[in-house]
Structure 1
């Protein structure tokens, strides 16, 4: 399967071809660590873990759209289909937020938390892809 002409059903594949794992992991560790430190009197892991996953997806998707590394075809595809590209990191963040919310709350709250995290990531990365996606490809 290629990322050329009309093959617009591959947001996860396009994201992995240009995903900056080092930068995204660093952002997730820093955000999760700071979230853990701010909630330190009550030792909780679910909230900081959800924050780490959220920022992993946000920074990874943003840097992959704005960065110059990665496959040029993947960057061109992400520039042509910014909202579909944003779907991959949004699903990752939404699932991470839902699972970590489920560990510390109710099922309905976990669903809404996951949907909210996915919507925020999808909108932010979609706008970044629309504005800067075609410039880097």
Structure 2
């Protein structure tokens, strides 16, 4: 896919171009480890994995807009269309959290939990991209 003027630029392409992979992995690992340690007991593993997925998506989505190391065209597109851009981290976070919950607890709880997490990530990343994105 080309990034020339007039070509289609999708949310997935924007998210992968500006996604800070190192920051996302570190944020997800730290968040997951903290939730695991705080919830030692029966559901500690599911709690830790669910939190790791959520923090991975949040750090990646927000870091992609805020970071100056990512591609400027992707950052500009994400700032121009913040809620389209926020859809990719929301799908990643919601699907991952829902899958972890379905495998550990219940299918219905995982489905509704994943939808709730996706909505929360979508709103959070979209609002932050709206406020701090560069629209030049």
Q: Tell me how far 1:42 sits from its aligned partner.
A: 2.8
TM-score of the superposed pair, with normalisation by structure 2: 0.91
* Unmatched 5+ stretches in structure 1: none
CA distance in 1, matches of 2:70, 2:90: 20
Q: Tell me how far 1:5 sits from its aligned partner.
A: 4.6
* Unmatched 5+ stretches in structure 2: none
Q: Which structure 2 residues correspond to residues 83-122 of structure 1 after superposition, within 5 A? A: 83-122=83-122
Q: Is the 8 A contact 2:89 2:121 kept in 1?
A: yes
* Secondary structure at 1:68 match in 2: coil
Q: Is the 8 A contact 2:37 2:44 kept in 1?
A: no
What's the counterpart of residue 41 of structure 2?
Answer: 41
Runs of 4+ displaced beyond 4 Å: 3-6
CA distance in 1, matches of 2:125, 2:8: 20
RMSD between superposed Cα atoms in Å: 1.6
What's the counterpart of residue 134 of structure 1?
Answer: 134
Q: Tell me how far 1:41 sits from its aligned partner.
A: 3.0
